[in-house]
Structure formats: structure tokens, C-alpha cells
Structure 1
């Protein structure tokens, strides 16, 4: 537990909050989700037993991480984004991609006949990570410590001591709804003549994202720093992978999907995504997004060229749901037509006790 602030410092914070109508999160745990000012990544308190940089700040028994930020007040405020009532789903068909990357299983659908011409059932055989997905907190650990979010271990996930710690069903019980914000980097790149292949390693830097956002009329600094990002926002980044997928023949995209997969810079699986640079880490943390998502198979540029992955920070250290392979094509078109890049967003995670990940089942509403 971090040492408490001095009485003088605490009193100064209280006075500042009174004058600014803010509520600063105390550095003693757990944080109050209704706070309006949270510590930056560099201000995080050390947590005994946790890896350096861990933001396990919502309590020892917390299972939902940054979804705590989706408070009733913030969800109600996000509801005001609904003006025209247009609905834009962001889910690829369950059989897309036809051949998933990273050696994942192909989706299979069977019809079960209950009574000929009277009643039928579906039977699905699938890997929840084979298409539009949210990575759950059990999916990717902080590699050096072998620890998942909030001190979850592999023994909590499989084996004789397996339990429901950080199971995906906790998300389902809480629910996901809030203000979405789209950064259409692919659209910006087309406009500026920036050419890259979404099926190859291409790191999108913070500087590029900032220029993309400015082109959309958005200041991507957190609101606490004078920008447009609100606490609890759900971030979407379009890299163009879905666009590229549909531009290729089935043979071409299936051949790319089975490129050899191995950890390290020489991984044959290669995709455009966010850079692992420090400025990206600071921005993703300090914006206090409740979740982040993209249209590519890894969200971050793959494979990482650093000694760490964004997955380790986003999932294991911060407890932030991470979406991949969302269909952002119609969403980007709708945003551009309306010249409006924020919307109400809701998702329905799978209510599976012990589950690792989930389909997004997501919808944007304008």
C-alpha cells in the first residue's frame, strides 16, 4: 500500500477539488470510480506483490478492471450521444475470417434437426478468439511475472485449483455501455497518401494518431489535460485490416492467415496496429478508457519490436478490455458522413463462468 499523502497535500487537493468541482482519486486503494481526476501512469502508487506499473486499483477482489469506470453517471451521459437512433453493428460474421490467424480453430456451424419441418437447433464449434472478440483478462499475462490481472495465476484458470477469478462472466454481469470514439487512421492515411499494408508490421505512432484525430476535429488529450477524451470512453481505432481482408481473394487471405506463428520479431503473423512506444503507453493509460478496440487481429502492431507487448499493459497491468477484429467499415463511413466521431456503444459479453474471452456482440448507436 502506498504511503498516505501528507495532511497539507491532502488539504490542498481538497481545496483544489472544491474550486474546480473535481474529485481527485486518493492514492490509497481502492480508487473511487466516480473520481474525475486519476493518477497518470507515472504517478501510479506501488502495489506490494504486483509487477511494476500495475494499476490494480479497484480492490483485491476486483474482476472487471477499467469497466469500473462505466458508472451510472457516465453511462447516462453517454446516452445523450443518441440523437438520430441509427444502429451500426460492429461484428464480423462468425465465419469471418474463413481461416483465423495464430493457428486458431475454424468456425463450424451445424443444423440439428429436432423434428423434420417443425423445429431445428444450431450447434456452433468455435474459438472465441477466431473473429470479432474481446480479449479477457485471462488471455494474456504480464510475461516476466507470469501474472494476469489483479494477481490472477494460471492455476486460477486451469487445473485442480481453477476458479472464477477474472472470468469473462464478470463483465457480462456488470455490462458494457458508454461513449465510443473512433479514430479512423485508415481513412486519414488514404487522404494523406500514406501507403501501408494492414497485413504487414506497421506501427501507428502517437504522433500519427494525434494528427489523424486533429483531422477529425478531435483533441486526443484526456479531458483533465484540456482534450476531448472523457474518462470511461471506449476507444476504436481503424487500421484498415477488414478493408484489406475483403479486397483479397479467398486464396490470398487464407494463405496470409497460415503464415508461421512464433514469438519474436520474426513472427510470420504480421499486422498493422498501435506502436508500443512510451507515448502510446502513457496516452492509453492516462486517458482512462474503459476499453479499447481495433479492426486488426492484434490491435497493436504485430509482432512487437520491444521487450514487451501492449497486451501485457492493457490486459494484465491495467485491466482494460481489448477488442480485436471489429468491423469498423460501416462505422467509419457513418461517422464521416455525419462528421461526428462519438456515439453510444454497447456490448454483450458471454456469460460463461471461467471463460477467457468473448465475442463483442457490439453496437454503435448515433
Structure 2
């Protein structure tokens, strides 16, 4: 992801009344799925059966494939406070038997805004607990996560649904700070001809990276479009397996008093739904518009990192 001029977004829009912590806690308890699955480490990915995979593969018609990962981001900026590393470790210039060899090294602190990544269930604790009621301090230590690690998830192959809000609204993007409510999701389903069903992966396009390309970077921690917490009960009712988008799913500023990432807490900690953050959905939006459909086969294969709280990832849609 190349650097671009820094841009300050306009003040966030009025997204309705704020939610108190007491009301949020009631919502958290109402969507909680603790004790539902074994192994619990996989959370909502347990919903995806071989039958789900077969139905998802039937969505492949044109064979068009669309990757969604951002370029490996080594450039510091307002949305990349911890740039990734990439350097050459062998240039093939040391005398050695043929053939010569070229090697490189990569490293990243990926839980931020500059790298496309998957959040595993060990990533977020709320009230001191991870998903399934595990005490965070007992199962996450300096060696990594001993519950909810990304290595326990494995690959996901399921139906993906793109909730393309700019396409629905006829705009280029949603302004940072715009919340997507439950009624917006229902309107998008109708407009795009899709229905979110059990085991589906839901991806929200706000047009974040189109806006960044045209107007410059800004700090998404301060303002970004995303889901309002009032959309989560609908997603919970539909029984989704994965949630993601071109932001980090949370609208910012947060609509909940004292919580910076309430959708993270609801999805990961209450519902056991892994999250995909910072996807570039522009090519997928164009492909879906060309095909005239907004559902597709989705393949997500995180790195097998024992103890990892997530993984850089390059999800692929196949239409």
C-alpha cells in the first residue's frame, strides 16, 4: 500500500443515540453462544459443514477469482503506525555452488490498520473473559494463546456475501464515522439480491480504500465507517460464521460509552465469530457489479501459527 497525503476526515455524522454500558452488557449476553460447540476454539466456524461447502462451490460460475489482501505495507503513515518489515536476506552474491539463491525476510505486528488480517477468538477479551467464558489471564501468556488460537481455526470455505453499501446508496464511499444499522443491512439484502444465511461470511464494503486513494490517508482509529452494535443481533440471528470488511467492522467513534471496539467484543467474545480486518474490497465490488450478484465462494486460509491471536491473510472470492 503506497503512501498518500494525510487527510483529516470531516466530523462524523450523527448515528443516533449512544448506548450505555449496561445496555451493551445486556446485548452481549443476548447474542452469546458460549457452550454451543466443540471444539470451542473454532467458534462459529463449526457452523460450516461439508454441505455448506458444497453449496458454496455451486456459486462458482464464471471462475473469476478476486484476492482481497492489501499489499504488504512497509510505509509508515496515519493508518500504519507499525509498518511491516521486508528485507533481502540473501542476494545470491556469495560464492556458492550453482544455482544461486535469493531470499527475503518478512515480519509484521499485524493487528492494526495497515495489514489485511484475521482475528482469532483469543484476540479480544471482555470483562476479563475470552469466548466460551475462558479467563483471559489463564489461557493467554507470553508463549501465546492456549485457547482460541488461530491454529485451531484451519481454513474456511463457505458462501461469502458482500454488503456493498456505496453500491446500494449510489455513492463512491461512506464517510468515516458512518454507522451501518440493522435496517441498512436489510435494505442492502433487498437491493443486492442476497440473503445472509447460516454459515455465511459477511463482508461490509464502505469504500474505505477508494476514499483513501482519492483523498489521502487518515487515522481510522478516530473515524471509520462500520457496523453499529444494533446490527449485531440480526447477524447473530442469521448464524454467520465470519464477519469482515474494508475497515475493522466497528464504526468509529464507538457508539458505546467506554468501549472502543464493541463489535469486536460482540463478534469474537460473545458470538465466537472471527473477524477479517482491512480488506481491499474495491476489485470485489467491481466484479460483483459485472456479474450482477453479490454472493460467491469465499476461501480464507490463515497461517498455522500455534498460539497466534490471528494471522495476516489473503482471502479469495471465486465467482
TM-score range, shorter chain: 0.7 to 0.9
Aligned to 2:109: 127
User: How many residues in Structure 1 have an aligned counterpart in Structure 2?
Assistant: 281
With the length of structure 1 as denominator, give the TM-score of the two structures: 0.71
| Aligned positions of 1:121-200 closer than 5 A | 121-129=103-111, 130-142=114-126, 145-152=127-134, 153-159=136-142, 164-172=146-154, 175-189=155-169, 191=170, 196-197=174-175, 200=176
CA contact (8 A) 2:159 2:296 kept: yes
Query: Once structures 1 and 2 are overlaid, which stretch shifts more, 204-213 or 335-344?
Result: 204-213
Structure 2 residue aligned with 1:202, among 159, 162, 178? 178
SS of 1:283's equivalent in the other structure is helix
> C-alpha displacement at 1:365, in angstroms?
0.6
Deviations 1:32-76 (A, max 9, x none): xxxxxxxxxxxxxxxxxx966421133465200000011111111
> C-alpha displacement at 1:138, in angstroms?
1.5
Structure 2 residue aligned with 1:73, among 41, 51, 56? 51
User: Partners in 1 of 2:199 and 2:101 — Cα distance?
Assistant: 44
1:104/1:354 CA distance change after superposition, 3 Å: farther
CA contact (8 A) 1:96 1:131 kept: no
User: Partners in 1 of 2:287 and 2:172 — Cα distance?
Assistant: 22
Unpaired runs of at least 5, structure 2: 1-27, 95-99
Whether 2:2 is the aligned partner of 1:55: answer no
CA contact (8 A) 1:276 1:304 kept: no
Unpaired runs of at least 5, structure 1: 1-49, 219-227, 262-268
Moved over 6 A (4+): none
User: Partners in 1 of 2:78 and 2:110 — Cα distance?
Assistant: 11
Aligned to 1:329: 282
| Aligned positions of 1:221-232 closer than 5 A | 228-232=195-199
CA contact (8 A) 1:104 1:127 kept: no
SS of 1:300's equivalent in the other structure is coil
User: Partners in 1 of 2:211 and 2:180 — Cα distance?
Assistant: 17
User: Partners in 1 of 2:128 and 2:201 — Cα distance?
Assistant: 27
| Aligned positions of 1:26-45 closer than 5 A | none
> C-alpha displacement at 1:98, in angstroms?
4.6
Query: Once structures 1 and 2 are overlaid, which stretch shifts more, 204-213 or 328-337?
Result: 204-213
Deviations 1:293-322 (A, max 9, x none): 1101x2121121224511111000111011
Whether 2:251 is the aligned partner of 1:293: answer no
Whether 2:301 is the aligned partner of 1:348: answer yes
> Rg bigger for which structure?
1
User: Partners in 2 of 1:53 and 1:195 — Cα distance?
Assistant: 30
> C-alpha displacement at 1:208, in angstroms?
2.1
Over aligned residues, Cα RMSD in angstroms?
Answer: 2.4
With the length of structure 2 as denominator, give the TM-score of the two structures: 0.81
SS of 2:138's equivalent in the other structure is helix
| Aligned positions of 1:236-315 closer than 5 A | 236-249=203-216, 253=217, 256-257=218-219, 269-277=222-230, 280-296=231-247, 298-307=248-257, 309-315=262-268
| Higher normalized contact order (CA 8 Å, seq sep 6+, divided by chain length) | 2
User: Partners in 1 of 2:241 and 2:207 — Cα distance?
Assistant: 23
